[in-house]
Structure 1
Amino acid sequence: MQTTTHEIADRIYRLSTCVPEVAPGGFTFNQFLVDADDPLLFHTGPRRMFPLVSQAIARIVPLERLRWIAFGHVESDECGAMNEFLAVAPRAQVAHGATGCMVSLDDLCDRPPRKLADGETIDLGGKLVRHIDTPHVPHNWEARVLFEETTKTLFCGDLFTHTGDGPPITDADIVEPALAAEELFHATALSPLTAKTIRRLATLEPQMLALMHGSSTRNRCSESLLRLADAYDVLTRQS
Structure 2
Amino acid sequence: MTVTNSDSNTNVHEIADRIYRINTPVSLPGDDTGFSFNQYLILDDEPLLFHTGLRGLFPLVREAVAHVMPVERLRHVAFSHVEADECGALNEWLAVAPHAAPLCGQVAALVSIGDLADRPPRALADGETISLGSHVMRWIDAPHLPHAWECGFMMEESTRTLLCGDLFTQPGFGKAPITENDILGPSEAFRGQMDYFSHTKNAEALIGKLANLAPRTLAVMHGSAYSGDGAALLHALSRELCREQASRTA
SS at match of 1:74: coil
Written as runs of structure 1 = structure 2, the 5 A alignment for 1:67-86 is 67-86=75-94
Matches within 5 A, 1:189-200: 189-200=198-209
Task: Map residues 101-120 of structure 1 onto 2, 5 A cutoff.
Answer: 101-120=109-128
> Is 1:225 the equivalent of 2:237?
no
| Count, aligned residues | 239
Identify the match of residue 98 of structure 1 among 106, 109, 120. 106
Q: 3-state SS of the aligned residue for 2:130? A: strand
Residue-by-residue CA offset, 1:155-190 (whole Å, 9 max, x unaligned): 000000010123001111111111111111100110
After TM superposition, the runs of 4+ consecutive aligned structure 1 residues lying more than 4 A away are none
Q: Which amino acid aligns with 2:12?
A: T
Q: State whether structure 2 residue 65 is matched by structure 1 residue 65.
A: no
Matched ranges for 1:78-157 at <5 A: 78-157=86-165
1:31 pairs, out of 25, 39, 59, with 39
The match for 1:10 is: 17
Matching residue of 1:234 = 243
User: 2:32, 2:154 → 1: CA distance?
Assistant: 29
Tell me which amino acid in the other structure corresponds to 1:222: A
Q: 1:170 aligns with which of 154, 167, 179?
A: 179
Q: Distance in 2 between matches of 1:70 and 1:133?
A: 14
Provide the rounded CA distance (Å) in 2 between the counterparts of 1:124 and 1:208: 19
Query: 1:161 corresponds to which letter in structure 2?
Result: T
Retained in 2: the 8 A contact 1:18–1:27? yes
Letter in 2 for 1:169: I
Q: Residue 195 of structure 1 aligns to which amino acid in structure 2? A: E
Q: 3-state DSSP class of the match of 2:24? A: strand
Does the aligned pair in 1 maintain the 2:180–2:226 contact within 8 Å?
yes
Post-superposition offset of 1:218: 1.0
Identity across matched positions, percent: 49
Offset, 1:29: 0.2
2:5 aligns with none
Whole-Å Cα distance in 2 between the matches of residues 2 and 105 of structure 1?
A: 31
Unaligned runs of 5+ in 1: none
Distance across 2 between alignment mates of 1:233 and 1:103: 30
The alignment partner of 1:225 has SS state of helix
The answer (yes or no) to whether the contact 1:24–1:163 under 8 Å persists in 2 is: no
Amino acid paired to 2:18? R
SS at match of 1:140: coil
**Corresponding residue number in structure 1 for 2:4:** none
SS in 2 for 1:157: coil
Equivalent of 1:47, from 55, 58, 77? Answer: 55
Q: How many Å separate the matches in 2 of 1:235 and 1:70?
A: 31
2 CA distance for matches of 1:171 and 1:96?
A: 29
Distance in 1 between residues matched to 2:137 and 2:225, nearest whole Å? 18
Q: With the length of structure 2 as denominator, give the TM-score of the two structures.
A: 0.93
Distance in structure 1 (CA, Å) of the matches to 2:247 and 2:170: 22
CA drift at 1:193: 0.5
Code of the residue aligned with 1:104 in structure 2: it is S
Query: Could you tell me whether the CA contact under 8 Å between 2:214 and 2:229 is conserved in 1?
Result: no
